[in-house]
Amino acid sequence: MYEFVSGPLFWISLAICVAGSIYKLVTVIKLARKDKVVLPYMRLSYSMKSIGRWITPFGTRSMRLTPIFTAVAFSFHICLLFTPLLLLAHHELLGIRLIHLPDPVAHVMTAIVIIGGLFFLQRRLLVPYVNNVTYFSDILLLLLVMAPFVTGFLAYYQWFDYRTVITLHMIFGCVMLVIIPFTRIVHMLFFALTRAYMACEFGYVRNSQDW
Amino acid sequence: MGFKPREEVADQGIDKRLEELSLEQIEQTINKVLAAEMNARMTAYLQTCVHCGLCANACHYCLSHNMDPKYAPVGKVKDTVWEMVKKKGKVSKEFMRTAARIAYTECNTCRRCSMYCPFGIDIAYFIITTRRICHLLGIVPQYEQDTVNSHSATFNQMWVQQDEWIDTLQWQEEDAQGKIPLARIPLEKEGADIMYSVIAPEPKILAQLLANASIIMTAAGMSWTMPATDGWDNSNMAMFSGDFETSARLERLHHETAIRLKVKRIVMGECGHAYRGAVYDGPKSNSWMFPPIPVVHAIDFYHEIITQGKIKIAKKFDKPITVQDPCNVIRNAGLGMKLREIMKATCSDFRDVEPRLGHNYCCAAGGGVINCGPPWKKDRVKGNKIKAEQLRATGAEYVVTPCHNCHSGIEDILKEFNVHMHVIFFSELLVDHCMEIPEHLKAKD
């Protein structure tokens, strides 16, 4: 089991993630080419300006209005993306040598993902206008995103049965990879596209700003 | 959480037609529209929205109702398009009644929410798609449908007949001559630089604005004309009812009238949605990438003639005054700083609003909402307390609203929330209080 999960399953999941992502992007771009009011109005400069604003913490009024959410959301996403990519244990498993995070840093970053996830969870349950649009799938998705981090944490400290926990950790990691293109996590891929379209609609067409 | 359900509102346009519809008709229409609209934008938006609710902070309805989830933009999408997609069109009549109410009376398509959504999702597009479905089903608020019927039959919004139109222009020309004896409203002057177009409520109920236009154009020495034929009305309620065919016909005639008159550009009166129609929705629906004739909004035009010295300011208005940023010309056209420049050029005690420019709160009247008429007035006014409070905080006695919808909407909310403020157009400020009549145009004894 461990051998399969740490080897073939990972590569299969990665392949599904990459192929699925390419498929999703190609499909939507192909659709966009059919839509006469999208591509003719797209301009790189307006897109980059707006995306730059929206990936800068507190770069927009929306973010400044909700400072706690902004701080949590940025930390959550940065840690979510970079902890698995820059973790020494992951590099060793794959047999690659890359710049990696010192253990204590990776540790804090993992904790940030878990705390951030819990923050989103309480928001989903307690804030009426978020709760109103929260479906079971939203909660499940959040738990699935947190799962590799929780199990990673447990594995590091060797709490519970290490072998079981690390196997679960790898399974959740693979699940995470597979669901990226096929669930709402696809926002990771589409963010730049939807933002760029709105940026051009506001900037190029309407001489205005979308932040 | 103690949020009250919506109070029942009767509207013949929606209720009666719903009785006649079958569930199959509803299902087929929804699926037809959604299949046609399942383009890149809709697909990406549906998959990308993470249900975070950040757009709630943007909407004046939500802010005015203590963050009631049903008024959050994403809540409105949930109760319209999401549900239609999920159920593949198999929705109840009651669902459609609420969907029509949300789409026509609880969203001004002002697009503020797109500036608060991290993904820039065009939530107004979902609302407009819902309106399209409602239009095809024939469940449109009665008053709104009446204006669209007028557009369809007369090419103007208020059943104004051609003789009435010409007669009103001549009457207002005479009024303008009370101030400047040489003032004219030149009709059908081929080759003039400017075609001036207005919305139909001007000749119908606010005729003095036509005299103001004549005074300003004459004093600034502009070469201008107005059409005597259909095509003079630049308003477009069909764009908001979901009747895109009528909408395209109106915009096409408006531009073709300017082409027929061989003018260099269209200057339009103080109206926001008309600008949206003429510059964005109209050209696209007629397969023009951009307007075939340049369209200049009144704010831009006043800015031009004031900064170029074609109009001189004799005396600055000295009472405390603030301003409304209409969504369709500020958030959606970037004229905010020009508006402030002309306010400062004409007023000595200008008090800005907060939030301002593209982030300003909507008037809650535009996007066809005020055209839904008296049955929905209470909802509309109650849904914009935040705007009344924003204006009250300026301490101003006057507010300039360079848009007809904003003008009427703000008058209503000021009355409801006891804010004592006069609502005026910029042309009234200019003509009644500020501008200098050039010596050579003054009446001689």
For residue A208, which residues of chain B lie inside 8 Å, CB to CB?
330-334, 358
- The helix or strand, by DSSP H or E, that contains position B265, with its residue range, turns out to be strand B265-268
Q: Which two tokens stand for residue B27?
A: 């299902």
B120–chain A Cβ distance below 8 A for any pair: yes
Residues B179 and B303 in one domain: yes
Question: What is residue A187's predicted lDDT score, i.e. its pLDDT?
Answer: 95
B 315-344 → A contacts, CB under 8 A: 330-334
Q: Give domain status of residue B155, yes or no.
A: yes
Q: Domain range for residue B418?
A: 321-434
Using pLDDT thresholds of 50, 70 and 90, give the confidence band for residue B39: confident
Averaged pLDDT of chain A: 93
Question: What is residue A14's predicted lDDT score, i.e. its pLDDT?
Answer: 93
> DSSP letter string over B330-342?
TTTT--HHHHHHH
Residues B105 and B196 in one domain: no
In this predicted model, what pLDDT tens digit does every residue of B145-185 receive, in sequence order? 999 999 999 999 999 999 999 999 999 999 999 999 999 99
**Burial (CB count within 10 angstroms: exposed 0-12, middle 13-18, buried 19+), residue B92:** exposed
What does the alpha-carbon distance between residue A144 and residue B77 come to, in Å, rounded to a whole number?
26
- Using N-to-C axis directions, what is the helix angle for A136-156 and A103-126, rounded to 10°? 160
Mean pLDDT within B84-102: 96
Q: Give domain status of residue B7, yes or no.
A: no
Q: Which two tokens stand for residue A185?
A: 């996590």
In this prediction the pTM is 0.93
Higher-pLDDT residue of B372, B445? B372
Residue B178, phi then psi, degrees to nearest 5: -65, -30
Residues B224 and B269 in one domain: yes
Q: Give domain status of residue B356, yes or no.
A: yes
B43–chain A Cβ distance below 8 A for any pair: yes
For residue A50, which residues of chain B lie inside 8 Å, CB to CB?
120
Domain A2-205, CATH class in plain words: mainly alpha
User: Looking at the predicted structure, is the pLDDT value of residue B1 above 60?
Assistant: no
**Of the partner residues B44, B75, B287, the one whose CB lies closest to the CB of residue A129:** B75
Question: What is residue A202's predicted lDDT score, i.e. its pLDDT?
Answer: 93
For residue A121, which residues of chain B lie inside 8 Å, CB to CB?
none
Mean pLDDT within A123-127: 96
Using pLDDT thresholds of 50, 70 and 90, give the confidence band for residue B38: confident
Whether the bond into B355 is cis, omega within 30 of 0: yes
Mean pLDDT within A48-72: 95
For residue B118, which residues of chain A lie inside 8 Å, CB to CB?
54, 62, 191
- Complex prediction ipTM: 0.92
B 183-242 → A contacts, CB under 8 A: none
**Of the partner residues B49, B118, B284, the one whose CB lies closest to the CB of residue A37:** B284
| Closest by Cα among A21, A208, A7, A199 to A93 | A7
Phi-psi region of B322 (alpha: psi -120 to 50; beta: other; left: phi over 0): beta
Mean pLDDT within B105-129: 95
Mean pLDDT within B105-109: 96
What does the alpha-carbon distance between residue B233 and residue B100 come to, in Å, rounded to a whole number?
27
Q: Which residue of B has its CA nearest to A62?
A: B116
Residues B220 and B338 in one domain: no
> DSSP letter string over A50-64?
HHHHHTSTT-SHHHH
What does the alpha-carbon distance between residue B115 and residue A151 come to, in Å, rounded to a whole number?
37
Interface contacts (A, B; CB < 8 Å): 139
Q: Give domain status of residue B91, yes or no.
A: yes
Whether A133 and B330 lie within 8 Å, measured CB to CB = no
Residue where one domain finishes, among candidates B247, B279, B307: B307
Residue where one domain finishes, among candidates B105, B140, B175: B140
Residues B177 and B294 in one domain: yes
In this predicted model, what pLDDT tens digit does every residue of A196-207 receive, in sequence order? 999 999 999 999
B315 Cβ contact list (under 8 Å, min separation 6): B433, B434
B442 Cβ contact list (under 8 Å, min separation 6): B180
Residue B116 · residue A62 · CB < 8 Å: yes
Residues B105 and B133 in one domain: yes
Q: Which residues sit opposite B297 in a β-bridge?
A: B268
Using pLDDT thresholds of 50, 70 and 90, give the confidence band for residue A5: confident
Whether B114 and A210 lie within 8 Å, measured CB to CB = yes
The CA-atom distances, in angstroms, between B176 and each of A130, B126, B163, B431 are: 55, 45, 20, 10
Question: What is residue B441's predicted lDDT score, i.e. its pLDDT?
Answer: 87
Angle in degrees, CA B432, B434, B435, rounded to 5: 95
Q: Which residue of B has its CA nearest to A26?
A: B40
Whether B68 and A191 lie within 8 Å, measured CB to CB = no
Residues B284 and B347 in one domain: no
Mean pLDDT within B272-300: 94
Question: What is residue A93's predicted lDDT score, i.e. its pLDDT?
Answer: 86
Residues B344 and B383 in one domain: yes
Question: What is residue B445's predicted lDDT score, i.e. its pLDDT?
Answer: 66
Whether B57 and A62 lie within 8 Å, measured CB to CB = yes
For residue A35, which residues of chain B lie inside 8 Å, CB to CB?
39-41
The CA-atom distances, in angstroms, between A123 and each of A72, A133, B24, B166 are: 12, 11, 39, 60
Whether B115 and A190 lie within 8 Å, measured CB to CB = no
Q: Give domain status of residue B193, yes or no.
A: yes
Q: Give domain status of residue B3, yes or no.
A: no
Residues B270 and B182 in one domain: yes
In this predicted model, what pLDDT tens digit does every residue of B304-355 receive, in sequence order? 999 999 999 999 999 999 999 999 999 999 999 999 999 999 999 999 999 9
Whether A50 and B56 lie within 8 Å, measured CB to CB = no
A99 Cβ contact list (under 8 Å, min separation 6): A86
Mean pLDDT within A156-181: 91
What does the alpha-carbon distance between residue B124 and residue B114 come to, in Å, rounded to a whole number?
8
A161 Cβ contact list (under 8 Å, min separation 6): none
| B256 residue type, one letter | E
Q: Which residue of A has its CA nearest to B356?
A: A61
What does the alpha-carbon distance between residue B343 and residue A166 come to, in Å, rounded to a whole number?
67
For residue B115, which residues of chain A lie inside 8 Å, CB to CB?
60-62, 202, 210-211
B172–chain A Cβ distance below 8 A for any pair: no
Q: Give domain status of residue B258, yes or no.
A: yes
Question: What is residue B191's predicted lDDT score, i.e. its pLDDT?
Answer: 95
Number of domain units in chain B: 3
Residue B277, phi then psi, degrees to nearest 5: -65, -45
* Range of lowest pLDDT (A28-42, A126-140, B214-228): A28-42
Whether A195 and B119 lie within 8 Å, measured CB to CB = yes
Averaged pLDDT of chain B: 95
Residues B152 and B101 in one domain: no
Whether A32 and B40 lie within 8 Å, measured CB to CB = yes
Q: Quote the distance between the C-alpha of residue B250 and its chain's center.
A: 15
Residue B317, phi then psi, degrees to nearest 5: -70, 125
